[in-house]
């Protein structure tokens, strides 16, 4: 069996009524492929993977995959992930979110999860717009962009999600585009194996809505834009900040060690019971 066939047969749920919900040209399918390859390469048992999502286009990802899968409420995937990881620390817990999901309605959960440092892999698909609800501005929509909810231009300034979670204390932060699918796969693999709260920001095209409002055009043109504007972190560190305006800095941005909540909790619980 070739590898794609092996991956499809092994990881996609045959019992789920395909086709999937995503539009042609959407980047989420590429992420799904990278995620599956990363998990397969990591040699994890399917029983040990928990895939959790919030609400939005990204929220529909887990149902297609043959893991322990949980589709939660809007913005709250990380809160459920927290409970599962603490209840079953041996499981690999991966939360899939969108930019509106993770950084707007779930922004508080995101920064506190980063601060708390429980071993969860947070994959944030950033397409800079609300896709499922029809193209409204999100917390990562560029300033000035006309959208379904900013018909006269977006009056707010976007979050840099990776910088946000770095400042909040996440010990592993990385960014890729879906164009750079190989890099995306490798980064996800590292994030899953990392002990601690790991964030992977995935720049992904929403052709249907962001493509329409930004005038970028087709899926191919949006991919071309990702290719042309991505700058590896190693190179970006040597560039003057003003030249990075509008660029996508990719690669592993943060990778440090710090104690994790669940390990510290287990240690305290053990010590207190021994003392008793």
Partner 1 sequence: MSMQHKTALTEQVLLQGSEACVQGALAAGCRFYAGYPITPATEIMELMSRAMPLAGGIFIQMEDEIASLGATIGASLGGLKAMTATSGPGFSLMQEHISYAAMAEVPCVIVHVMRGGPSTGLPTRPAQGDVMQARWGAHGDHPILVLAPSSTSEFFDLTVKAFNLAERYRSPVIVLADEIVAHTRESVILPSLDSLEIENRPKPSVPPEWYSPYRDPGTGIPPMAAFGEGYRFHVTGLMHDINGYPTERQDETEELMARLFNKISKDFHLLQWYDSYCEEGAQVMVIAYGSVARSALHAVRLARAKGLPVGLLKLKVIWPFMRRTVVRYLQSSRRVIVPEMNMGQLSREVKRVNDGACEVRTLNRVDGFMITPDQILKAIEEAMA
Name which of 43 and 215 has its Cβ closer to partner 1. 43
> Around 26, how many Cα atoms within 13 Å sit in the side-chain half-sphere?
20
Q: Which residues bind partner 1 (CB under 8 A)?
A: 15-17, 46-48, 50, 62-63, 66-73, 76, 79-88, 90-91, 108-109, 112, 261, 265, 268-269, 272-273, 276
Distance between CA 236 and CA 268 in Å, rounded?
42
DSSP 8-state assignment for residue 232: E
Name which of 3 and 17 has its Cβ closer to partner 1. 17
Name which of 62 and 205 has its Cβ closer to partner 1. 62
Question: Smallest distance, Å, CB 125 to partner 1?
Answer: 18
Question: Smallest distance, Å, CB 13 to partner 1?
Answer: 8
Question: Smallest distance, Å, CB 68 to partner 1?
Answer: 4
Name which of 101 and 213 has its Cβ closer to partner 1. 101
Distance between CA 200 and CA 83 in Å, rounded?
21
Q: The tokens of 73 are what?
A: 């409420």
Name which of 112 and 247 has its Cβ closer to partner 1. 112
Burial of 27 (0-12, 13-18, 19+ CB in 10 A): buried
Name which of 92 and 190 has its Cβ closer to partner 1. 92
Question: Smallest distance, Å, CB 275 to partner 1?
Answer: 10
Distance between CA 165 and CA 117 in Å, rounded?
11
Question: Smallest distance, Å, CB 85 to partner 1?
Answer: 8
Please, are residues 27 and 202 in contact by the beta-carbon 8 Å criterion? Answer: yes
Distance between CA 96 and CA 42 in Å, rounded?
18
Q: At what angle do helices 107-116 and 77-87 cross, to 10 degrees?
A: 30
Distance between CA 124 and CA 35 in Å, rounded?
12
Question: Smallest distance, Å, CB 92 to partner 1?
Answer: 10
Strands 198-203 and 120-126: parallel
């Amino acid at each position: 069996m070739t590898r794609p066939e092996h991956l499809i047969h092994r990881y996609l749920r045959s019992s789920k009524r395909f086709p999937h919900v995503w539009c042609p040209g959407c980047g989420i399918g590429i992420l799904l492929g990278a995620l599956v390859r990363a998990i397969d390469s990591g040699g994890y048992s399917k029983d040990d993977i928990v895939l959790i999502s919030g609400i939005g286009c990204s929220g529909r990802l887990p149902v297609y995959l043959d893991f322990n899968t949980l589709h939660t409420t809007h913005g709250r995937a990380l809160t459920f992930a927290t409970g599962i990881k603490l209840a079953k620390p041996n499981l690999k817990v991966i939360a899939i979110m969108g930019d509106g999901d993770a950084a707007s309605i779930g922004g508080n959960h995101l920064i506190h999860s980063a601060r708390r440092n429980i071993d969860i892999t947070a994959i944030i698909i950033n397409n800079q717009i609300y896709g499922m609800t029809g193209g409204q501005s999100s917390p990562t929509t560029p300033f000035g962009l006309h959208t379904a909810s900013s018909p006269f231009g977006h009056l707010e300034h976007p979050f840099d999600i990776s910088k946000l979670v770095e400042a909040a204390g996440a010990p592993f932060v990385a960014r890729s585009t879906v164009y750079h699918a190989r890099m995306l796969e490798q980064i996800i693999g590292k994030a899953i194996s990392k002990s601690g709260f790991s964030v992977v920001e995935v720049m992904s095209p929403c052709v249907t809505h962001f493509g329409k409002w930004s005038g970028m055009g087709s899926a191919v043109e949006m991919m071309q834009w990702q290719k042309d504007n991505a700058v590896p972190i190693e190179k970006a560190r040597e560039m003057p900040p003003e030249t990075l305006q509008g660029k996508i800095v990719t690669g592993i941005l943060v990778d440090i060690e710090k104690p994790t909540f669940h390990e510290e909790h287990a240690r305290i619980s053990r010590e207190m019971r021994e003392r008793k």
